[in-house]
């Protein structure tokens, strides 16, 4: 059960609510986010929720039977839209395109990339500066100095910056340069990192773990929300299965399931989901059909020379063609949804 508290509820009014919950054997957790105050009450005896709704501290009360509470669509029926400023948003009736290199390499690369994105009207650029690599000998990223020029060059052209944060201790140093913090698949259940991102007033894109279930992804999102940050974007990026014909199995089933279970926006990452550039276009268009709010794509001016993930990166020409197909598919879907 989610109890939304009035912003101006007094201590005394809150205490009467807590006493009532205690008397009915509920366990409860107080949550304060940038947007509201909540009490999450679990367990407990049967109760007529109107008796809670009538208390002075209470703005609204919702019976939510899901395992996850705050991220559930059972209480917040309207979709969450993540506003990034300058009319850039993720979620609901707009299909977002996030594109950029797997890794930030140098200034020239970022400048060429952001010029390309700007020409293509793509307003969110990805690029890792701290790279989680399976091998310790692989390229590990240009670090905070790289993030500084990545951010400065993008912001000159009003392009938003998304980059992966791998440890809670780095959040503060990265904060001024980042528009969206990305949590990678390997950190999807790093609960200390998720708690720390709950304290941040910038959006978080949370990826599904390498072998994470949908339930686990939602629990991870619940950590961030209950930590205080409501601005979360979920990302399906493929899971590890027995199949070896591609890098991961992009689980597009997850999109309609998440649509049903949560009010949070869902984007798909076909680059890591397939690992193969030939598969990016069909799986991007399939992501659109599955109801995703956007895709995140790896692109590179010269994929053969990319320091990481060249095999799954589109070149500029391929991205340009795909962008045209995305726009046409968006129009088609608007038309279709308008008819039914
Ligand atoms: C990435 O997007 O840079 C990345 C490392 O992806 P994932 O965490 O999904 O493997
Ligand atoms: Mn990559």
pLDDT reported for residue 271: 98
Give 237 Cα–ligand 2 centroid separation in angstroms.
Answer: 11
Closest atom, ligand 1, to C-alpha of 237: 9
Question: What is the distance between the alpha carbons of residues 52 and 45, in angstroms, rounded to a whole number?
Answer: 13
Strands 180-183 and 204-207, bridge-based pairing:
parallel
**Rounded Cα–Cα distance for residues 277 and 300 (Å):** 11
Calculate how far, in angstroms, residue 254's C-alpha sits from the geometric centre of ligand 2: 21
CATH level 2 (architecture), domain 2-62: 2-Layer Sandwich (3.30)
Beta strand pairing call for 58-62 and 96-100: unpaired
For the stretch 95-114, pLDDT in tens is 999 999 999 999 999 999 99
Look at residue 77 and tell me whether its pLDDT is greater than 90: no
Question: Hey, what are 248's tokens?
Answer: 């991961």
Supply the pLDDT for residue 87. 94
What's the mean pLDDT when you consider all of the chain?
97
CATH superfamily label, 82-339: Aldolase class I (3.20.20.70)
Collapsing DSSP to helix, strand or coil, 336 comes out as: helix
Task: Please state, in angstroms and rounded to a whole number, the distance separating the CA atoms of residues 203 and 229.
Answer: 8
> Ligand 1 atom closest to Cα of 164?
3
Nearest-angstrom CA–CA distance, 43 and 21: 10
Nearest C-alpha to atom 6 of ligand 1 is from which residue? Answer: 184
What does the alpha-carbon distance between residue 214 and residue 294 come to, in Å, rounded to a whole number?
18
How many Cβ atoms are within 10 Å of 56's Cβ, its own excluded? 12
Residue nearest to atom 9 of ligand 1 (CA): 185
H-assigned helices in the chain: 11-23, 49-53, 107-119, 143-156, 171-174, 191-198, 214-227, 254-261, 270-274, 280-290, 316-339
Which of 205, 269, 280, 299 to mutate for ligand 1's pocket (most ligand atoms within 8 Å of CB)? 269
pLDDT digits (tens, 9 = 90+) for 247-267: 999 999 999 999 999 999 999
Higher pLDDT, 47 or 144: 144
Question: Beta strand pairing status for 204-207 and 37-43?
Answer: unpaired
* pLDDT, tens only, 209-223: 999 999 999 999 999
* Residue whose CB lies within 8 A of the most ligand 1 atoms, among 182, 280, 300, for a mutation test: 182
Residue 275 has pLDDT above 90, yes or no: yes
Taking the C-alpha atoms of residue 276 and residue 263, their distance in angstroms, rounded to an integer, is: 31
**Ligand lying nearest the CA atom of residue 312:** 2
pLDDT value of position 197: 98
Q: Is the pLDDT of residue 331 over 90?
A: yes
Ligand nearest to the CA of 313: 2
Work out the average pLDDT over 178-206.
98
pLDDT score, position 119: 98
Q: Which residues line ligand 1 (CB under 6 A)?
A: 102, 128, 132, 164, 184-186, 207, 237, 269, 272
* Mean pLDDT of the region 297-319: 98
Helix axes 191-198, 214-227, angle to 10 degrees: 40
Nearest-ligand number for the alpha carbon of 210:
1
Hey, which of 247, 272, 275, 280 would you mutate to test ligand 1's pocket, going by the most ligand atoms within 8 Å of its Cβ? 272
Listed residue (223, 182, 180) closest to 70, CA to CA: 223
Domain with CATH 3.20.20.70 in the chain: 82-339
For residue 168, what pLDDT is reported? 98
Query: Which among 41-45, 75-79, 163-167 has the top mean pLDDT?
Result: 163-167
Q: Can you give the pLDDT at residue 153? A: 98
Q: Which regions of the chain carry the CATH code 3.30.70.1140?
A: 2-62
Q: Inform me whether the pLDDT recorded for 202 exceeds 90.
A: yes
Decide if 73 contacts 62 (C-beta within 8 A).
no
């Amino acid at each position: 059960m989610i109890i939304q508290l009035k912003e101006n509820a007094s201590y005394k009014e809150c205490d009467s609510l807590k006493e009532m919950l205690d008397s009915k054997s509920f366990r409860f957790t107080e949550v304060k986010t940038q947007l509201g105050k909540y009490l999450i009450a679990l367990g407990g005896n049967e109760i007529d929720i109107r008796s809670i709704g009538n208390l002075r501290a209470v703005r609204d009360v919702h019976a939510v039977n899901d395992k996850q509470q705050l991220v559930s669509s059972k209480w917040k029926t309207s979709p969450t839209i993540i506003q990034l400023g300058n009319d850039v948003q993720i979620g609901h009736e707009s299909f977002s395109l996030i594109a950029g290199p797997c890794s930030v390499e140098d200034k020239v690369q970022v400048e060429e990339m952001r010029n390309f994105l700007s020409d293509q009207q793509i307003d969110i650029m990805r690029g890792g500066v701290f790279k989680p690599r399976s091998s310790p000998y692989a390229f590990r990223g240009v670090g905070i100095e790289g993030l500084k020029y990545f951010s400065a060059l993008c912001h000159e052209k009003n392009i938003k910056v998304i980059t992966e944060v791998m440890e809670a201790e780095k959040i503060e140093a990265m904060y001024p340069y980042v528009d969206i913090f990305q949590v990678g698949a390997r950190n999807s259940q790093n609960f200390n990192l998720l708690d720390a991102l709950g304290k941040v007033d910038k959006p978080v894109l949370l990826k599904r773990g390498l072998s994470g279930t949908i339930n686990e992804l939602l629990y991870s999102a619940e950590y961030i929300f209950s930590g205080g940050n409501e601005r979360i974007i979920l990302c399906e990026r493929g899971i590890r299965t027995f199949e070896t014909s591609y890098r991961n199995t992009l689980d597009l089933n997850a999109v309609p399931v998440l649509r049903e279970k949560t009010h949070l926006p869902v984007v798909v990452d076909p680059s890591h989901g397939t690992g193969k550039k030939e598969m990016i276009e069909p799986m991007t268009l399939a992501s659109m059909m599955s109801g995703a709010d956007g895709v995140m794509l790896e692109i590179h001016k010269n994929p053969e020379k990319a320091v990481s993930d060249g095999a799954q990166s589109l070149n500029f020409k391929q991205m340009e063609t795909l962008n045209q197909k995305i726009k046409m598919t968006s129009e088609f879907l608007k038309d279709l949804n308008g008819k039914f």
